[in-house]
Amino acid sequence: MDVDPMLSVTLLGTGSPMPDPNRAGPATLVSAGGEHYLVDAGRGVLMRLAAADLGAPDLAAVLITHLHSDHITDLNDIVTTRWVMSIEPAPLTIVGPVGTKAVVAHIVASLAPDIGYRMVHHADLGHPPPVEVVEVEGGPVRSFGDVAIRCGPTDHKPVQPSVGYRFDHAGASLVVAGDTVPCPGLDGLCAGADALVHTVIRKDVIAAIPIQRLQDTLDYHSSPEEAAQTAQRAGIATLVLTHYVPAIQPGGGDDWRQLAAAHFDGRIELGDDLHRVEVRPT
């Protein structure tokens, strides 16, 4: 992938907890100013990153929205692969809600045998994977070069805490909401932003399936209609839908687009894994 000074978003994984042969787990790549930021690290993330001509050593930071397993299932792969594929020590910065430090410590602990084997076998790997975890609740996260990142609380209860992230670069701004119902924290993060990436589930479809465990998921996700209403309230220009439940057939999704368009005047983007959207100041 060429270095692109613009702000762009690539849907690396548009899937959900349900394994799908066509859709990797939740993961969104934000690229700005020649740097790359990964939001969530679901199933198959490094395969999709490779398809975008990038690898674990190329990530400026990994940002986690919440600790649901489908959003972090391949975090261990990033930790290990960055470690063994970096020639020089390359600390991995992981940003996430409170609780992320403990989860990452457990991930690294689970890798102890592998870390031991590799350190014995490769004389130049004289250290375990260097990982720095930054726990956030709201407000500025950190500036990476000329990309400012901040976060705000979302509402994915009983998953607590959960956060969304906003990226501002060269006059353009993008919010990645993660899993949430409409809430003031997300509204605040979206105010004045140009684009919003929002996870969605079809509540009309799921509500008709008589399986209690599916029904349970209705109250902590947004529908395409609700995501559209959030975008409309904030004056967002481009709404990007991802994390489709149930999975959209490859190339499909017109019905999802229509549901959102009834509540939102702007541009609606959805698609298959690796769908890329450029974000420009509006």
> By the criterion CB under 5 A, which residues form the site for Zn ion?
68, 179
Instruction: Identify which of residues 33 and 161 has a Cβ nearer to Zn ion in the complex.
Output: 161
Closest CB 231 distance from Zn ion, rounded Å? 19
| Closest C-alpha among 129, 72, 76 to residue 99 | 72
Asked whether the beta carbons of 88 and 154 are under 8 A apart, the reply is no
Is omega for the bond preceding 158 within 30 degrees of 0, making it cis? yes
Q: Is 57 helix (H, G, I), strand (E, B) or coil?
A: helix
Instruction: Identify which of residues 82 and 221 has a Cβ nearer to Zn ion in the complex.
Output: 221
Residue 70 bears catalytic tag: yes
Instruction: Identify which of residues 8 and 162 has a Cβ nearer to Zn ion in the complex.
Output: 162
Consecutive H or E run containing 119: helix 112-121
Q: Are strands 131-136 and 92-97 parallel, antiparallel or unpaired?
A: parallel
Closest CB 25 distance from Zn ion, rounded Å? 9
- Say which of 70, 168, 194, 273 is annotated catalytic: 70
- What is the C-alpha to C-alpha distance for residues 227 and 230, in angstroms, rounded to an integer? 5
Closest CB 212 distance from Zn ion, rounded Å? 18
Instruction: Identify which of residues 20 and 179 has a Cβ nearer to Zn ion in the complex.
Output: 179
Closest CB 207 distance from Zn ion, rounded Å? 18
CA angle at residue 246 from 242 to 249, to 5 degrees?
80
CA angle at residue 251 from 190 to 220, to 5 degrees?
40
Q: Return the active site residues.
A: 70
